A and B are shown apart, each in its own frame.
Chain A
Amino acid sequence: MELQAVLMAAGGGSRMMDLTYNTPKPLLPVGNKPLIWYPLNLLERVGFEEVIVITTKEVQKMISTDPKVKLDVKMKLDLVCIQEDADMGTADALRHIQQKVKTDVLVVSCDLITDAALHEVVDLFRAHNATLSMLMSKAHEFTETVPGQKGKKKTGEQRDFVGVDGTGKRLLFMANEADLDEGVVIRKSIMRKHPRMHIKTGLVDAHLYCLKKSVVDFLADNKSISSIRGELVPYLVRKQFSKSTNSPKVIDETHQNLKKNDKIQISSRDEELLHLTQERSCWNDHRGDMSDAYHGGRLRCYVHIMDEGICYRVNTLAAYIEANRLAPKLFDEPAVHPSAVVSERCLIGADSIIGASCQISDKTSIKRSTIGVSTTVREKVKVTNSIIMHGVTIEEGCNIQGSVICSNAVIGRGADIKYCLVGSAQRIEPDGENPKLQARSLYFPYTQSPQPSIHPHPPPLPPTPPNSYKLKAQHSKRAQFKDSP
């Protein structure tokens, strides 16, 4: 076994709380499959037989019990639960499973949807005997309108500065704009070794890393590092050029730990041979001077940057919507599930997905949309550009456009919903005829002071909404219903 796969699926999805309020992020349906299926499938495709999945108890429970969450993978899943409230970072999680790590690891995040050729990353890792190799992709522009987001996207986002060498593979520099008050500072010695540095800003980190086992051991010794992306990777990138890292074992700076050092030496016995080969070989990774390959450095970080192809991290609402649009292209399954009951007199676009045991009635048109499992769509409904999750009921004559309807919601007769997000188990039931929801709004069961016309049944869970929620004030809804006679 060359690489062990580790899937990080314990994230809370803090950037899209609206969606993850009822469904944990790994189980959000994307193209009628739970989000976690995509990285699992990615790993399965390249031949992994076993994956360590780090997740929460909640997710574990749902995976094992909920029939809607069918993972549909043949790999052996080793579910490791961590406490939700422990506020563990990805590096903490890796430290948590250190006992299980026997070889180098491939760490994947559960929100990665990509058609990247994984071997590119692994090949870099192998070819250069790298300490770290990672995947990045050109950032995509999200063109679709996002519910709840008014106006243009906020500008001045903090960009990541990624510096790679002339070949575009070796990772030389990494920093966030926020940390660069004094400008980009690069040591001259680095420039001397890698005289041509490309600095790229428009990249997304796919959060897919190949890491040497020694890095995991290093993590175990350095408790202060809690996040892979935020701390470990920048640390490794920086360490590439410091003198003390000429041998890989120095990575754990605790020299006293002789036992550990021995262990690493034993585990990498062919390292010596490799080193000898490198010495004897006329191969070199750079040109222009006569120094050894890699300038004698033993810690090396590489990155594979995808030029084309799909690579999304589903961590925002916009990315979620975009991923749902693209998901059908990633796998060849019939768009309409065989168990779905679809009336012959309805119109379903080729770019839509209809989940299992759905009921679609007459004179309904569905375009560029995803309809979840056990959803009922009645007559004369028009659904475009929308995501309908599981168990939703849409009554007659509704018009839903560019919206996300979460699980078990009920959309009352004749509702007109444009660019809205309707929360889980929410009932949109107008007392008047043909309710029209405010465009680009979010509707949640936990809206303060529910309006009786909208919430005939008080929601079971009225928690205090986190500050980050953009709750539409009720007056906007009131205004609409005033308008309707």
Chain B
Amino acid sequence: MSSRGGKQKKGNVTSEQEEEEQPLQAVLVADSFNRRFFPISKDQPRALLPLGNVAMIDYTLEFLTSTGVQETFVFCCWMSNKIKDHLLKSKWCRPTSPNVVHIITSDLYRSLGDVLRDVDAKNLVRNDFILVYGDVVSNIDVSQALQEHRHRRKVDKNISVMTMVFKESSPGHKTRCEEDDVIVAMDSKSKRVLHYQKTQGLKKLQFPMNIFQHGSDEFEIRHDLLDCHISICSPQVAELFTDNFDYQTRNDFVRGILVNEEILGNQIHLYVTQDGYGARVSNLQMYDSVSLDMVRRWVYPLTPEANFTDQQGQGCTHSRHNVYRGAEVSLGHGSQMEENVLIGRDTSIGANCHISNSVIGNNCTIGDNVVLDRAHMWNNVHVSSNVEIHQSVVCDGAVVKEAVRLNKQCVLAYNVVIGPNLSLPEGTVVSMHHPEEEEEDDDDEFLSDDQEVGHSKDKTRQKAFNPAEVGPEGKGYIWKASMNDTEDEELAQCLWGLVLNPDPESDSESEASEESQDRSRSVSPEIDDVNAFQLEVLGTLQRGLEENIVCDNLVLEINSLKYAYNITLKEVMQILTRVVLEYPFQQQGTQLTTLQYTGSLLPLLKTWSPVFKNYIKRAQDHLDCLSAVEELFLEQDTHQTAMVKVLMKMYQLEILEEEAILKWFSTGATNDKSRQLRKNQGVRLGQICVWGKPSQNVKGYQFGHCGSLILLLQKETTLLIFSDGVQRKQTPCSQCHKKESCGMV
């Protein structure tokens, strides 16, 4: 019995092993599908650009091999022949290589999506595979991530389709660049990615609520992650790319999966490494930092002296302060290599040079008194004496003549000659390709890129070099951002990526505005409601006019708004009055004359009178309405004369009652201004009474000197209305105590 059990166990183990033993595959995309490295990448594909004197694709392949990948598919498009040649010569294509490299080339690949669709069409992957770009430099051991990925797939039945590998690094770290900056919301326990967003150009990060409704009660929002662009994918990923032909990049894919999570039921997880190194050389800024990280041995065991590409003559020695010297390097008298310097073989350096944080390629010659700081020189570069180079890239075959100064972020592309006696301003890019040829090529998007270079070469000869730009003996053109790409992205033209600004001051502005918002909100939150309600009422009335909506429906709508914004009836009326009276201003601007104003307002009053009547019922309502009218006309003091017309119209439309108007007139004015208004309008108010009161037989009106209004009624009686008191019949004016003189006609 026991032996049988043991056997069974063994059987299980072997079956598991078999599963594991399927060779780990990787898809390496040796094309970036963008032009970030133009014009450098016009002559050499990005994957073959040297970093620490080794082509970048070799780092990627070494990384894959060291994590146990046994079969790698290298997809190339741009200059595929060069990549193919390089790989065929390299150790990866030797028969002893543990990692079998298949090179698949096609000119039709225009994006990562195309590559993965081809992977699916050719049925290349059978199991989980690693997806990387040809410019990823990493020493991360992804075996644990792979294990987690497999475990998840086993437990959750293929729900998880991708595990993205991230490296922990604080914001502001120099290997983070703005364009690759991401923010990730994840479930703390399951490490599931809930939200993935590039933060470039954003000030506020918004996370939709639905990502927090997955039952978990703990989430993490992480901004301390550096995207290594290494992903562990299940075979479904290729299928999903086929299904969704609009997925172009991995970013599209991730967003698509997250948005359609509920429909497709696929999930993405992440794996965060703390001590590995992983970065993608996506722009020159990254190139600069990764290159220095390499020299500073962060990518150990991939170090310059390790010669992992196993090429003859590549070996170098490592001495303290991270100074590496290749074979046959000669160093002149008094030259100092301060720190983090890598010098390739057969390079000679003159006397009294200062070199720090730089990489110099093979077969370079450097003159006397040269200062190099963060210079990246590739092979066969000639630098004359008295040259200063700061944080710049000098490509193969370039010649820098005497007394040239390259300021920060300059690029000398292949075979350029600069100088003598010239200082290149910051960010200058000099190339043998004329920028205009680029434009011409751009017109034909579907031409193969290889061809572009071929047939444009003749044209370059025809154009003369500008000695002011490249020096009297210089050869090359200043490379400028071509204009027709502006719609694309301005950034795409910026060879050096944007540096992360560790403390952007720009934030303060938004903070300040937010603060003021805060303050107003905290002081009286109701104001917002009232304002919002006012806007809504305005909108409703506007729509009512446009669409000819019956007033009853308008009332219904306003009533529902009233509840939505928790507005009292009194406020409704005030707001309604205000909105209606302001309507002409709202529509035709504030520059209206009084005549125009009344002309447009009075018909409106007529149309909306049922709305008013619905709200103005009790005596108090009338007064409230009147005070709203008064308030408005106090603000619009140029239109005060219109007030009486408005009141009269409202009276005629039976919105306001005469008693109410009189009462309003007589109840005390609250301040000087309104008193003035009443006085001015008093005469006209009399008109209302006259016009409006045939019943009481008003014969005429008079105006008392203390502001009272005297209506002459029939039967020889008068009605006195005081500006501060009630109406009295035939009572002498109590204010001036002058029985005869005060208004008594």
Q: Is the CB of A195 within 8 A of B222?
A: yes
Q: Is the CB of B217 within 8 A of A180?
A: no
A45 on interface, CB distance cutoff 8 Å: no
Contact of B209 among A177, A202, A238 (CB under 8 A): A177
Q: Is the CB of B522 within 8 A of A235?
A: yes
In the complex, chain A residues whose CB is within 8 Å of the CB of B507: 187-189
* Least CB distance, A202 to chain B, in whole angstroms: 3
Total A-B pairs in contact (CB under 8 Å)? 117
Give Cα distance in the complex from A305 to B507, angstroms. Answer: 31
Q: Is the CB of B218 within 8 A of A200?
A: yes
In the complex, chain A residues whose CB is within 8 Å of the CB of B199: 188, 191
Q: Is the CB of A185 within 8 A of B204?
A: yes
Contact of B221 among A189, A191, A235, A289 (CB under 8 A): A191
Interface readout for B688-704 with A: 1 if CB under 8 Å, 0 if not?
00000000000000000
In the complex, chain B residues whose CB is within 8 Å of the CB of A159: 217
Interface readout for B165-205 with A: 1 if CB under 8 Å, 0 if not?
00001111100000000010000100000000001001111
In the complex, chain B residues whose CB is within 8 Å of the CB of A225: 522
Give Cα distance in the complex from A102 to B522, angstroms. Answer: 27
Nearest chain B residue, comparing its CB with the CB of A200: B218
A253 on interface, CB distance cutoff 8 Å: yes
B468 on interface, CB distance cutoff 8 Å: no
Contact of B217 among A181, A188, A201, A224 (CB under 8 A): A201
Nearest chain B residue, comparing its CB with the CB of A177: B209
Give Cα distance in the complex from A182 to B217, angstroms. Answer: 19
Q: Is the CB of B218 within 8 A of A182?
A: no
Instruction: List the one stretch of B52-60, B61-69, B513-521, B715-723 in contact with chain A.
Output: B513-521
Q: Is the CB of A184 within 8 A of B212?
A: yes
Q: Is the CB of B217 within 8 A of A242?
A: no
Interface readout for B221-243 with A: 1 if CB under 8 Å, 0 if not?
11110000000000000000000
* Least CB distance, B520 to chain A, in whole angstroms: 11
Q: Is the CB of A288 within 8 A of B170?
A: yes
In the complex, chain B residues whose CB is within 8 Å of the CB of A238: 518
Contact of B220 among A187, A198, A231, A253 (CB under 8 A): A198
Give Cα distance in the complex from A191 to B523, angstroms. Answer: 28
Q: Is the CB of A195 within 8 A of B170?
A: yes
Q: Is the CB of A191 within 8 A of B205?
A: yes
Given A183-B209, A200-B218, decide whether A241 and B173 contact each other with a Cβ distance below 8 A: no
Nearest chain A residue, comparing its CB with the CB of B173: A288
Given A184-B212, A200-B217, A244-B515, decide whether A287 and B170 contact each other with a Cβ distance below 8 A: yes
B736 on interface, CB distance cutoff 8 Å: no
Nearest chain B residue, comparing its CB with the CB of A199: B219
Contact of B519 among A191, A195, A253 (CB under 8 A): A253
* Least CB distance, B290 to chain A, in whole angstroms: 19
In the complex, chain B residues whose CB is within 8 Å of the CB of A186: 204-205, 207, 221
Range for the number of chain A residues in contact with chain B: 35 or more
A291 on interface, CB distance cutoff 8 Å: yes
Q: Is the CB of B224 within 8 A of A195?
A: yes
Give Cα distance in the complex from A200 to B512, angstroms. Answer: 28
Give Cα distance in the complex from A181 to B209, angstroms. Answer: 8
* Least CB distance, B529 to chain A, in whole angstroms: 15
B504 on interface, CB distance cutoff 8 Å: yes
B448 on interface, CB distance cutoff 8 Å: no
Nearest chain B residue, comparing its CB with the CB of A195: B224
In the complex, chain A residues whose CB is within 8 Å of the CB of B221: 163, 186, 191, 196-199
Give Cα distance in the complex from A451 to B515, angstroms. Answer: 60
Q: Is the CB of A288 within 8 A of B224?
A: yes
B208 on interface, CB distance cutoff 8 Å: yes
Give Cα distance in the complex from A163 to B221, angstroms. Answer: 9
Nearest chain A residue, comparing its CB with the CB of B524: A224
Q: Is the CB of B206 within 8 A of A184?
A: yes
* Least CB distance, A298 to chain B, in whole angstroms: 15
Nearest chain B residue, comparing its CB with the CB of A194: B223
B508 on interface, CB distance cutoff 8 Å: yes
Q: Is the CB of A188 within 8 A of B205?
A: yes
A48 on interface, CB distance cutoff 8 Å: no
Q: Is the CB of B209 within 8 A of A242?
A: no
A284 on interface, CB distance cutoff 8 Å: no
B503 on interface, CB distance cutoff 8 Å: yes
* Least CB distance, A317 to chain B, in whole angstroms: 24
B511 on interface, CB distance cutoff 8 Å: yes
Give Cα distance in the complex from A244 to B511, angstroms. Answer: 9
Q: Is the CB of A198 within 8 A of B219?
A: yes
Give Cα distance in the complex from A188 to B507, angstroms. Answer: 9
* Least CB distance, A479 to chain B, in whole angstroms: 38
In the complex, chain B residues whose CB is within 8 Å of the CB of A446: none
Give Cα distance in the complex from A117 to B206, angstroms. Answer: 36
A100 on interface, CB distance cutoff 8 Å: no
Q: Is the CB of A243 within 8 A of B512?
A: yes
In the complex, chain B residues whose CB is within 8 Å of the CB of A200: 217-219
Q: Is the CB of B209 within 8 A of A180?
A: yes
Given A199-B220, A288-B173, decide whether A184 and B209 contact each other with a Cβ distance below 8 A: yes
Q: Is the CB of B205 within 8 A of A185?
A: yes
Give Cα distance in the complex from A184 to B219, angstroms. Answer: 12
Nearest chain A residue, comparing its CB with the CB of B203: A188
Give Cα distance in the complex from A195 to B220, angstroms. Answer: 10
B676 on interface, CB distance cutoff 8 Å: no
Nearest chain B residue, comparing its CB with the CB of A187: B204
Q: Is the CB of A224 within 8 A of B523?
A: yes
Q: Is the CB of B205 within 8 A of A202?
A: no
A21 on interface, CB distance cutoff 8 Å: no
Give Cα distance in the complex from A131 to B217, angstroms. Answer: 27
* Least CB distance, B167 to chain A, in whole angstroms: 13
* Least CB distance, B271 to chain A, in whole angstroms: 16
Contact of A288 among B171, B219, B503, B504 (CB under 8 A): B171
A→B interface (CB under 8 Å): 159, 161, 163, 177, 180-189, 191-192, 195-202, 222, 224-225, 231, 235, 238, 241-244, 253, 287-289, 291
Q: List 21 A-B contacts (CB under 8 A).
A: A183-B209, A184-B206, A184-B209, A186-B207, A187-B204, A187-B510, A188-B203, A189-B504, A189-B507, A191-B199, A192-B171, A195-B171, A196-B220, A196-B221, A197-B220, A197-B221, A201-B219, A224-B523, A242-B515, A288-B170, A288-B173
B→A interface (CB under 8 Å): 169-173, 183, 188, 199, 202-209, 212, 217-224, 502-504, 507-508, 510-512, 514-515, 518-519, 522-524
Identify the 4 closest CB pairs spanning chains A and B, nearest first. A288-B170, A202-B217, A195-B224, A191-B223
Q: 7 new A-B pairs (CB below 8 Å) besides A159-B217, A191-B199, A253-B519?
A: A185-B205, A192-B502, A231-B522, A241-B511, A244-B512, A289-B170, A291-B503
